[in-house]
Amino acid sequence: MAGRSPSQNQVKLLLLLPFFLWLFAFLLLPAIMMLISSFHNEGGQGFTLGQYVKGLTHPLYTTAIKNSVMLSLVSALVGIVVAAFAAYSFTTFPPKSRDRMLSVSNMMTNFAGVPLAFGFIVLFGTNGMLTLLFKQLGLSFLVFDLYSWKGLAWVYIYFQIPVGILLIYPSLYALKQEWRESASLLGAGTVQYWLRIGVPVLLPGLVGTFSVLFANAMGAYATAYALVTSNFNLLPIQIGGLVSGDVFPRVELGSALAIILFLILALALFINEKMLRLARRGLNDGR
């Protein structure tokens, strides 16, 4: 095949120019400005680490970080357990049914943010349809406060499960049928097979998926804000309030908290990348 001429390469670069401009204007430039702003004082001048010190020591913001981390851990843990069983059950269905269920899961991943919050309010709010139904049937133990930590956890778990299914499902095909047959011939039961073969093979993928779900919950803003506004102390809500919600915006402190959030998410994604490399290495060794 003949090599491409310099003019063809130049045309391709020109076609990519709008994308790079968009990337710079709406991603790189705001990130750079946010990083610089986080080292300014309240007046937007000078160089100081005071914003980071305040973000990591003030009770209001440390509580927001703790609440966000705890909510993310709980929703990611419950979400990955439910998603793992659901994804495994998908593999037992015929191809057509499996494809339909995966399509539904894919569709559910797009149902988040304000529409998801509105849906939960309609169903489980103070005067929600299911809330009133449970009270009428005398099932008050099923009623919960949607606008509390528990309510937020249920909402987060809801949008974590379909994401977890889509991430775990491909990993299940790393388990070969011959391994199960060999284990059975050697006298291993179902529990032994999963403890000694299934779980170790899937573990890198599961840990990687957990880190993605954790990052997904940590960065969620629209759903939580639509449900509880500023009545529940979460890190993304605090950042939004500092940047635009206060009478006097404190962009510098909001930028510092955003950088702290970014570092937490970067750590989660770093773990995910490491786990994916281990998973790929395990798959290659198993071939």
Render pLDDT for 135-163 as a digit per residue (tens, 0 to 9).
Answer: 999 888 888 888 888 899 999 999 999 99
Residue 242 lies in a domain: yes
- Whether 38 is in a domain gets the answer no
Give yes or no for residue 286 having a pLDDT over 70.
no
Asked whether the predicted pLDDT for residue 246 surpasses 70, the reply is: no
Which letter, b or e, does each residue of 186-206 get, where b requires 16 or more Cβ atoms within 10 Å of its Cβ?
A: eebeeeebbeebbeebbebbb
64 within a domain of the structure (yes/no): yes
What CATH number corresponds to the domain at position 245?
A: 1.10.3720.10
Q: What is the pLDDT of residue 12?
A: 80
Alpha carbons 260 and 57: distance in angstroms, whole number: 13
- The pLDDT, as a whole number, for residue 1 is 46
> What is the per-residue pLDDT for 65?
94
Over residues 14-38, mean pLDDT: 90
Which residues, other chains included, contact 271 with Cβ-Cβ below 8 Å and sequence gap of 6+?
A: 207, 208, 211
Mean pLDDT of 44-59: 89
Q: What whole-number percentage of the chain has pLDDT above 90?
A: 36
For residue 276, give its domain range. Answer: 46-115+162-285
Q: Which of the four pLDDT bands, split at 50, 70 and 90, describes residue 284?
A: low
Distances (CA, A) of 180 to 184, 188, 191, 228, 284: 6, 9, 11, 48, 19
Count of domains forming the chain: 1
**Cβ-contact 275, 211 below 8 angstroms:** yes
Q: Is 225 helix (H, G, I), strand (E, B) or coil?
A: helix
H-type helices in 91-221, by residue range? Answer: 95-109, 114-124, 129-136, 149-168, 177-185, 190-193, 199-218
75: in domain: yes
Burial classification of residue 268, based on how many CB atoms lie within 10 Å of its CB (0-12 exposed, 13-18 middle, 19 or more buried): buried
pLDDT score, position 173 = 82
What is the C-alpha separation between 237 and 60, in angstroms, rounded?
A: 12
In a domain, 80, yes or no: yes
* Residue 219, domain member (yes or no): yes
Q: Is residue 2 part of a domain?
A: no
pTM: 0.84
Structure tokens of 84? 């793992």
Residue 143 lies in a domain: no
Average pLDDT rounded to a whole number, residues 178-187: 80
